[in-house]
Structure 1
Amino acid sequence: MATTTTHPSCGTSWTGTRPEHCPVCCETFGGSRTADRHRVGPMGDRRCLHPTQIGAVKDGRGIWVRPYRTRASDATARLTGVRSSE
Structure 2
Amino acid sequence: MAALDDLVAAYRRAERAVPAAERAAEARVKAAREARTAARQALALGIVEAWHAETSQAEIARRTGYSREQVRRILRAHGVQPE
Normalised by the shorter chain, which TM-score bucket?
under 0.3
With the length of structure 1 as denominator, give the TM-score of the two structures.
0.20
Q: Which has the larger radius of gyration?
A: 2
Greater share of strand residues, 1 or 2?
A: 1
Greater share of helix residues, 1 or 2?
A: 2
